[in-house]
Amino acid sequence: MIIGEQKPFDEIWEMVKDHKQLLVFGCNTCVAVCHQGGNKEAEILASLLRMRATQEEIDIDIINGGIERQCEHPFFESAKDLLDKSEAVLSLACGIGVQFVAEKYMNTPVYPALNTTFLGDVKADGLYTEKCQACGDCVLGVTGGVCPVSRCCKRIFNGPCGGSSNGKCEISKDLDCAWQLVVDRLEALGKMDDYEKLAPVKDWSKDRAGGPRSFKLEDF
Amino acid sequence: MEIKTNSKLEKVLKNGHMAVTSECGPPRSSDSAGIIKKGHLIKDHVDCINITDNQTSVTRLCSLAACIHLKNEGLEPALQMVCRDRNRIALQSDILGAASFGINSILCLSGDHQSFGDHPSSQNVFDLDSMQLIQTARYMRDEGKFLGGDEIKEPPNLFVGAAANPFADPFHIRVPRLAKKIAAGAEFIQTQCVYNLDKFELWMKGVVERGLHEKVFILPGITPMRSVGMAKYMARAVPGMDVPKELIDRLSGVPKDKQAEEGITIAVEAIERLKECTGVKGFHIMAIEWEEKVPEIVERSGLYPRPDVG
Amino acid sequence: MIGVNPERVEFYNLSAAQGPRWAEICTEFTEKIITMGPSPIWFALQKKKQSAETEKQFA
């Protein structure tokens, strides 16, 4: 799922402090899982902003709200009144949600409370790790289920490089070497013969490099 | 053995001689005088001079320009090319550029991650990996085409090499990885610097078992230690580096002003031992910022004068 | 980030059967907060109230 991290409080405050009215708007799906942008977090953030405003003797009417998902139209029904009346919106959704709100409300400034960081899993409660970069051409079938694009810092397709040390990546002792993991998996699956197959050159036009992507189902 | 390029390195190797190569790092400046001086220091003691490509991700005068400077001085440079900073368009373009100046050899590398260098916030490219770059260089030469399929009017004629690191993990895939590089088209291999001679010979044993030593020319890397501090630093902080404790102890046991000399002696001893190792076809002497010692190492190892291969 | 001393917040874990311990905690904590005095938020709210009253007076 999409993982994000709340921006530093001071940065958020600087973005919104000049408004007289603000809606702190949560998104209760992906960013609620990592406890950064859910409706509960929106309530807390609104409270913190009110406290800051009071201390700085600035008058802002701050209300909080939220919906299930900020990336689909139907979910906005329940918050229509709230959004129609807001002078500005501080959205706690990922970048997708922030843009969706901005598109729906052309005349209302929308600010991101989060930095959207990556697509990842919930390895453990409170621990999220990057697993996919949406490259558009998945090779997980040949790498034993380990992604070289998102988990190798050099996105090598014929790894490991010469910097792999004790199963760790050269850039950090906390980072597993993706290709060590690939080799371990291939061994476990009895597929070490696949290791010597040369991976073909990647078509990056299916990735970000090819421009913003879209997907349309014809039968709709 | 058929000689395919004008590379002096290829000629030395295919005529059955032990080859000697070395490497120089370009300056962090637009003044080429330094790199030219380094080239002249070692030119009679090596068959070709590698020029590093923004090594350790530190921005320097580019390898291609430095190679051209050396070529203009009548020296034999080898272009090092990393995949970190250029996409396939730029890589192929630079290969044509190198060939247009008569640069005859290329070493294809992944490249250190940019977090090690002076611009850690930069984007990295890695459009191709080193394996695919080897394939590309060979494809351009042997098929006369760009990766995209279009014809190249005058194909670049480069002797293609790659790096190997027998000391990185996991060890058990380091021989298969060499096999892969050979399958991709590598014609010569320069390895990471060798201090753990036992481990290197173990790797060579695996290489020879598969007959790979007859398909590619292997040149182990030799870097003389300047001090025990350098040895400790390399053991601790450089990824994929194996510095045995005995070596550190040996250097510690010698007074500070004699450590550099001892380091050179250790390097010469390593060369003498590895000369006897089946499959070793030469040496890649990397004395970065200490290039003035290369002639001494080459002479003391009995590798001077360099053969004249016309 | 909002200028409040972290010592004003404390988490205790106890069951509904621990009556005496609950009383103890309440006493302890109240005494602690009294020593620390009003929070900066209270001062800010007071200021806000006062200026609202002053404005009313002049209105």
- Chain A nearest CA to C4, separation (Å): 10
Q: Which chain A residues in 115-154 lie under 8 Å from chain B, judged by CB atoms? A: 153-154
Last residue of a domain, one of A118, A146, A164: A118
Distances (CA, A) of B181 to A156, A198, A200, B135, B208: 14, 9, 13, 9, 15
Residue among A127, A171, A125 at smallest CA distance from A151: A171
A174 and A75 within one domain: no
Distances (CA, A) of C15 to A105, B63, C9, C27: 49, 71, 19, 18
How does pLDDT run across B155-175, given as a tens digit for each residue?
999 999 999 999 988 899 999
Max CA separation in chain C (angstroms) = 55
A114 and A148 within one domain: no
A124 in any annotated domain: no
> pLDDT over 90 for what percent of chain A?
93
A179 and A110 within one domain: no
User: What does residue A67 show for φ and ψ, rounded to 5 degrees?
Assistant: -135, 175
Please state the domain count of chain A: 2
A89 and A142 within one domain: no
A vs C, Cβ pairs < 8 A, gives 23
A170 in any annotated domain: yes
A184 in any annotated domain: yes
A161 in any annotated domain: yes
Please give the torsion angle defined by the CA atoms of residues B257, B262, B268 and B274, in that order, rounded to the nearest 10 degrees: -150
Residues B53 and B111: beta-carbon distance below 8 Å: yes
The whole-model pTM stands at: 0.91
ipTM of this predicted complex? 0.90
Average pLDDT estimate for A67-87: 95
Find where tokens 């476990």 sit: A188
Q: How far apart are CA B264 and CA B258, in angstroms?
A: 10
**C15 C-beta neighbours (distance < 10 Å), count:** 8
Residues A164 and B149: beta-carbon distance below 8 Å: no
Confidence tier at A34 by pLDDT (50, 70, 90): very high
A113 and A21 within one domain: yes
A32 in any annotated domain: yes
A138 and A92 within one domain: no
A60 and A139 within one domain: no
Distances (CA, A) of A150 to A39, A106, A118, A138: 30, 35, 10, 11
User: What does residue B252 show for φ and ψ, rounded to 5 degrees?
Assistant: -65, -30
User: A148 preceded by cis ω (within 30°)?
Assistant: no
A95 and A145 within one domain: no
Q: What is the pLDDT of residue C49?
A: 87
Last residue of a domain, one of A118, A142, A172: A118
A166 at the B interface (CB within 8 A)?
A: yes
A98 and A140 within one domain: no
Buried b (16+ CB within 10 A) or exposed e, A44-70: ebbebbbbbbbbeeeebebebbbbebb
Average pLDDT estimate for B7-21: 96
Chain B residues whose C-beta is within 8 A of a chain A C-beta are: 83-84, 88, 110-113, 115-116, 124, 126-132, 135-136, 147, 163-165, 168-170, 173, 176-177, 179-180, 183-184, 192, 239-240
Task: CATH number of the domain at A89, please.
Answer: 3.40.50
Q: Is the model's pLDDT at B267 over the cut of 80?
A: yes
Last residue of a domain, one of A118, A146, A166: A118
Of A10, A48, A55, the CB nearest to C44: A55
Confidence tier at B34 by pLDDT (50, 70, 90): very high
Q: Which chain C residues in 1-30 lie under 8 Å from chain A, judged by CB atoms? A: 1-4
A104 and A43 within one domain: yes
**A107 C-beta neighbours (distance < 10 Å), count:** 4
Q: Which residues contact B30 (CB under 8 A, 6 or more apart)?
A: B61
Domain span at residue A192 reads 133-202
Average pLDDT estimate for B125-135: 97
A192 and A98 within one domain: no
A105 and A7 within one domain: yes
Under an 8 A CB cutoff, do C1 and A48 touch? yes
A128 in any annotated domain: no
